[in-house]
Structure 1
């Protein structure tokens, strides 16, 4: 990417976000790194870059001569595991994820191929049967099941550990560290702590092993290369925790799209790969009910993975506080 390559910059709802993109030396290093990996493949940049700046990532669409664009992504240090995790997933579950073209774990950089259409784009363009979401959740749960054997390796890559039995301590850390909670909310959450510990113990007793939780599996983090088939990407919010914590985000998006009547079938589609070993449907539904509520901890934690902010600012704390308050709310299905 030469110095004279134009860039179209999108800051979204975060015009004041502080990212490394503001530093010319950093941009120059990125240009050299991307150019080098493209040159290894006999490729070069062809056209303006499209840059998306957020407090949690720098994402650059790089047009390439004669083929689909590639994507450069930079994570903050707290989410620098995403590149190594993506590479490892491409080895373990190659048909489910994107395989990175290059990863620099030390700098939190990844270079990824274009994986095709976002599921969100498909939803905006044409009617989509809700059974597509059932296929999505069944495929994703099956992948999580395959990754159970790799949970310790995933943690070794730097992915945060939030094991089911340890979630009360995760709650304690998040509550203590969040300055955006008012005294009333803080008191209500503190009073909830004994019940939360009971939920975690009950959930762990079901016997579903901890594995990879994407933690933000919405329609903008999914590719749909073909009807009923999905590719999973964007692992910067991930953690190793109870797998059922993954259900909430996609189920909420589908509910928003089709209405609450889709939830029972989505729940069945997600839980089907976890049947067996004497687990009853009622017990799995109870586990999903508990994990739906506890998933708020993972979402709250992910808002702490930001680039270093300007002095006196605390990006993500308001969003993290909102997710902690979600612990006070009942899930939208019985359990």
Structure 2
């Protein structure tokens, strides 16, 4: 699916300069801006830092005609088209989406790498959207990745620090962390495992169980470091608050009975632990020898079943069944007397409802021009929750 880009340029002070003529880029995904930068350099000889999305001609990704804001060091020699865009400030704008924001973050990362004896010779912008900004910094000692996240993901650095001590090798190596949303990570060879088959998913689940077993003994430290506490009643309160501005009438019954349902989940006897929150194969990176879990911004303290449900949600029941059975067997062995299968059954309709609340939180924390990234996610997840609740009721009455 094609993506056509119009790049509106501003100078270092944010003064508008005009727009480059539209051009095509290969990736349809709006947050991927590496090719946007590369094409501006190839076509016009410009070094551009993409700041943020301004407009889209469709309600949600992927593809379409996108207008981005980009910063240049000085007015370019190439002719620019006159455009009218709203560049007024917004209180929810990410720091990397402001003029000078990318340069400040790159300067911090470059300084940290030089302090580690790893001078930087090249920087490439990879991604920019409301959930993160990512750059690759390269030098004679290899590559490192600078990731900057918004305030609602700020605890990711604390999670990565905890994992570095408690589960070495489970995540990328943290080279630096400013405590305010910027982390510098060592490169992990391989690729994101979106296409992982059932055997690889089984290995991911087994690795993750080890991490969760260790985390269950260290919850006070995780919570004290800023990881959201969404155990039992807390997750119910958070879901209801996040979804309050949205039309969720199709799951009114599920929301009304959420506290009683979570009480039943608690009686299943599994320990609360560190939950990744978005454990699909695309958030796992590997090269056949090493496998690590990335993107811990959605992490929270809560019930471990949320992760196995996320890892298996796209699989048909016959394929997911053995993965769920192995997950349950591990918990029965490590938490004698627990009932993992019932916990999964009770949380099957809650899991998409929790994801709807996650997306609602994103929408509440970003500026309106970036709402199209997530606007369709809340109703889609609510529909999934309603379908799961209906299937559960049918199984009880059938």
Compute the TM-score of the two structures, normalised by the length of structure 2: 0.70
Match of 2:332 in 1: 275
Match of 1:293 in 2: 349
Match of 1:92 in 2: 166
1:114 pairs, out of 166, 180, 187, with 187
- For 1:225-244, what aligned pairs fall within 5 Å after superposition? 225-226=287-288, 230-244=291-305
> Post-superposition shift, 1:114?
0.9
Q: Is the 8 A contact 1:19 1:53 kept in 2?
A: no
**Aligned-partner SS, 1:177:** coil
Q: Is the 8 A contact 1:7 1:49 kept in 2?
A: no
In the alignment, structure 2 segments of 5+ residues that lack a partner are: 1-11, 13-44, 54-60, 69-92
Equivalent-residue separation in structure 1 for 2:197 and 2:269 (angstroms): 33
Structure 1 runs (4+) deviating above 3 angstroms are 3-22, 305-308, 310-318, 331-335
Q: How many residues are aligned here?
A: 313
> Which of the two has greater helix per residue?
1
Match of 1:264 in 2: 321
> Post-superposition shift, 1:314?
8.0
Match of 2:245 in 1: 177
Equivalent-residue separation in structure 2 for 1:239 and 1:7 (angstroms): 36
Deviations 1:133-177 (A, max 9, x none): 211111112211111112222222222221123333223212213
Change over 3 Å in CA distance of 1:176–1:310 after alignment to 2: closer
> Post-superposition shift, 1:225?
4.2
Equivalent-residue separation in structure 2 for 1:290 and 1:114 (angstroms): 39
Please state if 1:82 is matched with 2:139: no
> Post-superposition shift, 1:326?
2.5
Q: Is the 8 A contact 2:132 2:149 kept in 1?
A: yes
Please state if 1:141 is matched with 2:215: no
Change over 3 Å in CA distance of 1:297–1:99 after alignment to 2: farther
2:272 pairs, out of 210, 222, 229, with 210
Q: Is the 8 A contact 1:100 1:110 kept in 2?
A: yes
Match of 1:220 in 2: 282
> Post-superposition shift, 1:213?
1.1
Change over 3 Å in CA distance of 1:5–1:220 after alignment to 2: farther
With 300-309 and 47-56 compared, the bigger mean Cα shift is at: 300-309
Change over 3 Å in CA distance of 1:314–1:131 after alignment to 2: closer
Please state if 1:105 is matched with 2:179: yes
> Post-superposition shift, 1:13?
4.3
Equivalent-residue separation in structure 2 for 1:5 and 1:30 (angstroms): 20
Equivalent-residue separation in structure 1 for 2:286 and 2:370 (angstroms): 41
Change over 3 Å in CA distance of 1:43–1:312 after alignment to 2: closer
Deviations 1:208-254 (A, max 9, x none): 12111111112221022435x6311210111111111111222124x
Equivalent-residue separation in structure 2 for 1:118 and 1:235 (angstroms): 17
In the alignment, structure 1 segments of 5+ residues that lack a partner are: none
Deviations 1:48-88 (A, max 9, x none): 503201221111122x2223321111111111111122112
Please state if 1:330 is matched with 2:388: yes
Change over 3 Å in CA distance of 1:314–1:162 after alignment to 2: farther
**Aligned-partner SS, 1:101:** strand
> Post-superposition shift, 1:5?
10
Alpha-carbon RMSD across the aligned residues, in angstroms, is: 3.1
Q: Is the 8 A contact 1:5 1:47 kept in 2?
A: no
Q: Is the 8 A contact 1:99 1:113 kept in 2?
A: yes
Match of 2:33 in 1: none
Q: Is the 8 A contact 2:167 2:211 kept in 1?
A: yes
> Post-superposition shift, 1:30?
1.0
**Aligned-partner SS, 1:73:** strand
**Aligned-partner SS, 2:171:** coil
